[in-house]
Structure 1
Amino acid sequence: MANTQAHSQKCISFLLTQDLPFIATLSKQIAAGKVGELHQCGCHGFAFEVHGDANVPPLNDGQGPFYEMAFTSNFPEEIDMLLFTDERGYLSWVDVTYGAANIAPMPEGVIPSAKIGVWPSCA
């Protein structure tokens, strides 16, 4: 299924419903930013841009992978969501993949459901 702005918005809405230890900060960054480039490899990854003049706290102490979540789905494989931050510690990329190792393009009609794991276990 092709990646679209609508898919990235659904992903953001889904993220904001999760019980995350950093949900308040993530919510502020999402309110201050916007979805950027969409990955077209078959995953539903997308860039996220928090404006340079945004006065919001960082998620992380720098650039890199920040948090990963795995969810059951209505298909045989799980859905993984990996959050990355930029050098300021702001959300910069969200990978949304099908299967633990991005085994195939995101299937049409896939829906994440129960959380089955997170990394790190306490952020």
Structure 2
Amino acid sequence: MANSEQHAADWLNFLLAQDLPFAEALSTQVGVGKVGQLCACGCHGFAFDVPANVDFLPLQSGPGIFYEMVLSSNFSEEIDLLLFTDERGCLSWVDVTYGACNIEPMPEGIVPELVTGIWPGTRKDLPTVEVEVKHSTKSWWKFGYRR
């Protein structure tokens, strides 16, 4: 099902209807903001813009992933929502995908059912991992290589 401003509004209304710990801040931001660019990959993702000249409660301090919610659906796969914030802590993007890895476009007639998981997530939650990159001169990875 193609993405649309109506789908974005429906997903925002769905979020506002949930008992979320940040409901007041989200409600304020949705009340003064507007839906921006719509993702065209087949998901229902969309940008969200909160004007700079309004008072608001930030969702978090700074940019990054803010919250993840997983919902069962009337189809075989789940619906995943990822909420992102900008440098002001305002809602800036909502990813709404079908399946854990956006496995295919959002199906026509999909309905969110039960919330099966909720995870707050910020860039501060992510551990720093030191990775040493070693370049290899072996070409075993080339297409058509046989041992």
- TM superposition score category, shorter chain reference: over 0.9
Q: Which amino acid aligns with 1:15?
A: L
1:91 equivalenced with 2:86 (yes/no): no
**1:56 corresponds to:** 56
Deviation at 1:85, TM superposition (A): 0.1
Report Cα offsets for 1:15-47 as digits up to 9, x if no partner.
111110000110000001000000000100000
Q: How does 1:1-123 map to 2 (within 5 A)?
A: 1-120=1-120
Q: Measure the CA separation in 2 of the matches of 1:27 and 1:76.
A: 31
Unaligned runs of 5+ in 1: none
Q: Measure the CA separation in 2 of the matches of 1:88 and 1:119.
A: 21
**Count of aligned pairs between the two proteins:** 121
Report Cα offsets for 1:88-110 as digits up to 9, x if no partner.
00000000000011111100010
The structure whose Rg is larger is 2
Deviation at 1:120, TM superposition (A): 2.2
Query: TM-score if structure 1 supplies the norm length?
Result: 0.96
Q: Measure the CA separation in 2 of the matches of 1:55 and 1:75.
A: 40
Would you identify which runs of 4 or more consecutive aligned residues in structure 1 move more than 4 Å? Answer: none
Deviation at 1:57, TM superposition (A): 1.1
Percent sequence identity over aligned pairs: 60
Q: Measure the CA separation in 2 of the matches of 1:38 and 1:18.
A: 23
Report Cα offsets for 1:57-97 as digits up to 9, x if no partner.
10011001000000000000000110000000000000000
- For 2:101, what is the secondary structure of its paired residue? coil
Q: Measure the CA separation in 1 of the matches of 2:25 and 2:2.
A: 30
| Larger strand proportion of the pair | 1
Q: Which has the higher contact order (CA 8 A, sep 6+)?
A: 1
Q: Which amino acid aligns with 1:89?
A: G
- For 2:117, what is the secondary structure of its paired residue? strand
Query: TM-score if structure 2 supplies the norm length?
Result: 0.81
Q: Which amino acid aligns with 1:117?
A: G
